[in-house]
Homo-oligomer: A and B are copies of this chain.
Amino acid sequence: MPKIVDHDQRRQEIVEVTWRFIAREGIEKLNLRDLAAAAGYSNGALKPYFPTRDALLEATFNFVAEATNKRVEAKAMGLRGAQAIEAFACEVLPLDELRINEARIAVHFWNLALAEPELAAANAATMDQWRTWLDRWLGQELGERHMQATFVRDSLINFLMGAQVSSVLDMAANSGQSLVDQLKYHLQMLNRIK
Q: Give A residues with C-beta under 8 Å from B.
A: 26-28, 104, 107-108, 110-111, 113-115, 120, 123-124, 127, 131, 150-152, 154-155, 157-166, 168-170, 172-174, 178, 181-182, 184-186, 189, 192
Contact = CB atoms under 8 A, between A and B. Distances in A.
Contacts of A164: 162
DSSP majority for the A interface?
A: helix
Give this chain's copy count: 2
A14 to B, nearest CB: 23
Nearest to A113: B169
A182 to B, nearest CB: 4
A149 to B, nearest CB: 8
Contacts of A115: 26, 28
Contact of A120 (B26, B111, B123, B169): B169
A118 to B, nearest CB: 13
